[in-house]
Amino acid sequence: MTDYAMTIATPGDEEGFRRTPITLRAPGPGEALVRHTAIGLNFLDIYHRVGQYPWPVERDAILGSEAAGVVEAVGDGVEVIAPGDRVAYTIPYGAYATRRLLASDRLVRIPDSVPDEVAATITLKGMTAHYLIHSTFRVEAGMTVLVHAAAGGVGLLLGQWLAHIGATAIGTAGGPEKVALARDHGYTHVIDYRSTDFVEEVRRLTDGAGVHAVYDSVGRDTWRGSLACLRRRGIFVCFGQSSGPVEGLGIKELAAGGSLYATRPSLFHYIDTRNELEERARALFTLVGNGTLRAEVRQRFALADVAAAHRALAGRQTSGASVLLP
Ligand SMILES: NC(=O)c1ccc[n+]([C@@H]2O[C@H](COP(=O)([O-])OP(=O)(O)OC[C@H]3O[C@@H](n4cnc5c(N)ncnc54)[C@H](OP(=O)(O)O)[C@@H]3O)[C@@H](O)[C@H]2O)c1
């Protein structure tokens, strides 16, 4: 079968994706050739596609930030993986392809207990859930935190991981089906933020005290309310902008809110060493492999139908994780 990638010439709408034949050379020193078996779909890919985040240098860009597959060949000096290994990875671009060359030190082995489709959809999202609640802010048993878009890909993993830690997770989600799904994935309370004022509801649920941390990936539509949900010295973790970027947040608002903290983290700054990458992947694959975290794939698309996948994710039509199949 001829290898192909779904390319896009310039930032724009999803109609710009084209199926483009590709030719791959043999892996050079430190590189691995990987045949993709499944590719994860992420909101990050939408920011790249529309030009909200930096565009890759090539004109016909290959987007896609997470995948799983089999190592077909390795170059000189590769020690961490070998041909035949099942591997997964997350890097910002290049995953929307049948095969690709990669720096071998970005690959992690997938344990037998985790299927490829699952690995392809949890490597980026699950390591994100891990660093957000262990490193950006260490959530402890007994704490209460708020998570927006709780029924999304990252959201369903966060709810279960917070419950596993012993924290009380309050989620928000759009519509009754997503509310029920989030409740089934670790959240103690889920607020339909389309029909209910989430600030009032969080205040009520916490007897006026507010939450220790807010994990906000929605951005423009929620950030003001998120600050209002925090207790004194609480932390606002702004890790995405599915409704648009946060604009106008001044440092004095942190004082007015009660000596608050605010951070805008990125996964790639939390896995840049091999050790950190392996540690987070191990923690994630262990809990998914032993069933502590349920990681179902809820939407499947052919890789060639990536435009439909983008339309569904951007249009809030998906819940949990989606996969693209080459
Ligand atoms: N900083 C990092 O390291 C990092 C890493 C991974 C992901 N992220 C961020 O985490 C978030 C979740 O990623 P994901 O891939 O798992 O996506 P997702 O949560 O499955 O999808 C995004 C969800 O955001 C909600 N949303 C609210 N307003 C929206 C709007 N105007 N347009 C579209 N969606 C809207 C929708 O849920 P409702 O219908 O329930 O509102 C939608 O389903 C994204 O913002 C992503 O960029 C950040």
What is the per-residue pLDDT across 172-185, written as a single tens digit (0 to 9) for each? Answer: 999 999 999 999 99
- Residue 269 resides in a domain: no
What is the per-residue pLDDT across 80-91, written as a single tens digit (0 to 9) for each? Answer: 999 999 999 999
Q: What is the mean predicted confidence (pLDDT) over 211-229?
A: 98
Protein residue with its CA nearest to atom 45 in ligand 1: 240
The verdict on 148 and 75 lying in the same domain is no
Ligand 1: which residues within 6 Å by Cβ? 42-44, 124-125, 128, 149, 151-155, 173-174, 178, 217-218, 221, 239-240, 242-243, 265-267, 313-314, 316, 318
The verdict on 245 and 286 lying in the same domain is no
How confident is the model at residue 78, as a pLDDT? 97
CA-to-CA distance for 218 and 241, rounded, in angstroms? 5
Q: Which atom of ligand 1 is nearest to the CA of 322?
A: 20
Beta strands in 54-178 (DSSP E): 61-62, 66-74, 86-90, 99-103, 108-109, 144-147, 168-173
How confident is the model at residue 31, as a pLDDT? 98
The verdict on 119 and 147 lying in the same domain is no
58-61 contacts, C-beta under 8 A, 24 or more apart: 59/9, 59/10, 60/7, 60/8, 60/9, 60/18, 60/20, 61/7, 61/8, 61/9, 61/93
**How far, in Å, from the CA of 70 to the mean position of ligand 1?**
29
Burial 59-71 (b: 16+ CB within 10 A, else e): eebbbbbbbbbbb
The verdict on 150 and 250 lying in the same domain is yes
CA-to-CA distance for 118 and 170, rounded, in angstroms? 25
What is the per-residue pLDDT across 204-219, written as a single tens digit (0 to 9) for each? Answer: 999 999 999 999 999 9
The verdict on 249 and 297 lying in the same domain is no
**How far, in Å, from the CA of 33 to the mean position of ligand 1?**
31
- Residue 51 resides in a domain: yes
- Residue 285 and residue 112 in contact, taking contact as beta carbons nearer than 8 Å: no
Q: What is the mean predicted confidence (pLDDT) over 107-128?
A: 98
Protein residue with its CA nearest to atom 13 in ligand 1: 43
Q: Is 136 helix (H, G, I), strand (E, B) or coil?
A: helix
What is the per-residue pLDDT across 42-71, written as a single tens digit (0 to 9) for each? Answer: 999 999 999 999 888 777 899 999 999 999
pLDDT at residue 77 tops 80 = yes
- Residue 130 resides in a domain: no
**How far, in Å, from the CA of 147 to the mean position of ligand 1?**
11
**How far, in Å, from the CA of 149 to the mean position of ligand 1?**
6
The verdict on 61 and 115 lying in the same domain is yes
The verdict on 145 and 259 lying in the same domain is yes
**How far, in Å, from the CA of 230 to the mean position of ligand 1?**
21
The verdict on 168 and 259 lying in the same domain is yes
**How far, in Å, from the CA of 105 to the mean position of ligand 1?**
28
The verdict on 76 and 118 lying in the same domain is yes
Quickly state the pLDDT bin for 115 (edges 50, 70, 90): very high
Q: What is the mean predicted confidence (pLDDT) over 101-116?
A: 98
What is the per-residue pLDDT across 235-253, written as a single tens digit (0 to 9) for each? Answer: 999 999 999 999 999 999 9
How confident is the model at residue 187, as a pLDDT? 98
- Residue 96 and residue 301 in contact, taking contact as beta carbons nearer than 8 Å: no
CATH of the domain at 184: 3.40.50.720
- Residue 87 and residue 73 in contact, taking contact as beta carbons nearer than 8 Å: no
* Mutate-to-test residue for ligand 1 from 48, 154, 214, 216, highest number of ligand atoms within 8 A of CB: 154
Domains in the chain: how many in total?
A: 2
Q: What is the mean predicted confidence (pLDDT) over 100-107?
A: 98
How confident is the model at residue 179, as a pLDDT? 98
The verdict on 148 and 221 lying in the same domain is yes
**How far, in Å, from the CA of 282 to the mean position of ligand 1?**
24
Q: Which atom of ligand 1 is nearest to the CA of 124?
A: 6
How confident is the model at residue 269, as a pLDDT? 98
What is the number of alpha carbons within 13 Å of residue 303 lying toward its C-beta? 25
pLDDT at residue 1 tops 80 = no
Task: Classify residue 204 as exposed, middle or buried by CB count within 10 Å of its CB (0-12, 13-18, 19+).
Answer: exposed
- Residue 229 resides in a domain: yes
How confident is the model at residue 59, as a pLDDT? 78
How confident is the model at residue 58, as a pLDDT? 78
Protein residue with its CA nearest to atom 30 in ligand 1: 243
What is the per-residue pLDDT across 141-189, written as a single tens digit (0 to 9) for each? Answer: 999 999 999 999 999 999 999 999 999 999 999 999 999 999 999 999 9
- Calculate the average pLDDT of the chain: 97
Q: Which atom of ligand 1 is nearest to the CA of 172?
A: 40
The verdict on 242 and 185 lying in the same domain is yes
Domain of residue 67 covers 4-123+274-325
* Mutate-to-test residue for ligand 1 from 160, 217, 310, highest number of ligand atoms within 8 A of CB: 217
Q: What is the mean predicted confidence (pLDDT) over 225-235?
A: 98
How confident is the model at residue 321, as a pLDDT? 98
CA dihedral 46, 322, 262, 276 (to 10 degrees): -110
Q: Which atom of ligand 1 is nearest to the CA of 239?
A: 1
- Residue 134 resides in a domain: no
**How far, in Å, from the CA of 99 to the mean position of ligand 1?**
27
Q: Which atom of ligand 1 is nearest to the CA of 153?
A: 16
- Residue 294 and residue 281 in contact, taking contact as beta carbons nearer than 8 Å: no
How confident is the model at residue 281, as a pLDDT? 98
- Residue 123 and residue 88 in contact, taking contact as beta carbons nearer than 8 Å: yes
Of 246, 264, 282, which marks where a domain is finished? Answer: 264
CATH of the domain at 56: 3.90.180.10
Bridge partners of residue 97, in order along the sequence: 5
